[in-house]
């Protein structure tokens, strides 16, 4: 219980601090995420997921972005899962589409169950094909991502039916061609596991994009950061293989 209340206090502090520092218009947006997951089981190690996502530039207004994606997973072990995924990502503005991205990625997830605290390490390599409609141009980029996600069930030792839980994570985005450090995401949220199939999560996410120092026309442009705070609503529905034994414990991770 002490751990639960301690982490709850940290979460409350983070939310209040960033809400207070982001009061100017346009600094808050929304992410709406709906996911259907078919996890692997003891007998049937193959699984997968599909997901739809929409984002807004303001709170419940200014829709500008969507994602449609999915993946095929395989459980190497109860705590090690690999996944091959792909998706379509569209960004819009008032006149119409700004760019379209098609993405392929390879992923390794490692889970650690440390008594009450559950940890997830996610490693991802992405290949990205971007089309910029306004400039009628295309580009190919690669990216590396690492996310450390921690879960703490409240009033239970595992995240099971009728469980309230906390989730916090930090994820870094790296560009192998440089500038290396491209983006950072920090998340803190509260979730509720209604049944073994359904959970809902509400949280705050701060996404910061980094523009590295550069020299242009003889002048040094320092490192600049473009942060964005977002209120996130996530609904995850888990399917089950027919006539299979489920894994003894799992974590309700967001796929993105």
Residue 156 pLDDT exceeds 70: yes
pTM for the whole structure: 0.84
Residues near 102 by Cβ (< 8 Å), separated by ≥ 6?
A: 86, 87, 88, 89, 128, 129
Greater pLDDT, 56 or 216: 56
Determine the pLDDT at residue 225. 76
- Residue 173's closest CA among 114, 244, 123, 110? 123
**Confidence tier at 26 by pLDDT (50, 70, 90):** low
How many of the other CB atoms lie within 10 Å of CB of 205? Answer: 21
**Confidence tier at 194 by pLDDT (50, 70, 90):** very high
Determine the pLDDT at residue 212. 61
**Confidence tier at 85 by pLDDT (50, 70, 90):** very high
Per-domain residue ranges for the chain?
Answer: 2-238
Determine the pLDDT at residue 10. 45
**Confidence tier at 19 by pLDDT (50, 70, 90):** very low
Question: Considering the chain, what is the average pLDDT of its residues?
Answer: 86
With contact defined as beta carbons under 8 Å apart, do 15 and 9 qualify?
no
How many of the other CB atoms lie within 10 Å of CB of 226? Answer: 10
Residue 214 pLDDT exceeds 80: no
Per-residue pLDDT tens digits for 63-76 = 999 999 999 999 99
Q: Considering only the top CATH level, what class is 2-238? A: mainly beta
């Amino acid at each position: 219980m002490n751990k639960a209340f301690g982490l709850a206090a940290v979460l409350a502090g983070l939310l209040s601090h960033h809400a207070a520092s982001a009061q100017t218009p346009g600094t808050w947006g929304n992410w709406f995420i709906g996911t259907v997951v078919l996890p692997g089981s003891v007998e049937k190690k193959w699984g997968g997921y599909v997901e739809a996502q929409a984002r807004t530039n303001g709170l419940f207004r200014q829709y500008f972005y969507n994602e449609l994606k999915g993946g095929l997973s395989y459980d190497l072990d109860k705590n090690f899962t690999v996944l091959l995924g792909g998706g379509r990502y569209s960004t819009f503005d008032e006149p119409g589409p700004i760019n379209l991205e098609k993405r392929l990625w390879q992923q390794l997830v490692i889970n650690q169950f440390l008594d009450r605290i559950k940890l997830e390490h996610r490693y991802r390599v992405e290949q990205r094909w971007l089309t910029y409609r306004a400039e009628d141009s295309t580009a190919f980029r690669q990216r590396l991502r690492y996310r450390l996600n921690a879960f703490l069930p409240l009033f239970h030792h595992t995240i099971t039916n009728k469980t309230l839980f906390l989730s916090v994570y930090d994820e870094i985005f790296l560009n192998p061609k440089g500038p290396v450090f491209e983006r950072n995401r920090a998340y803190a949220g509260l979730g509720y596991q209604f049944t073994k199939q359904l959970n809902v999560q509400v949280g705050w996410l701060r996404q910061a994009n980094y523009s590295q120092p550069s020299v242009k026309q003889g002048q040094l442009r320092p490192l600049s950061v473009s942060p964005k705070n977002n209120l996130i609503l996530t609904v995850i529905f888990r399917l089950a293989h027919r006539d299979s034994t489920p894994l003894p414990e799992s974590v309700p991770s967001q796929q993105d």
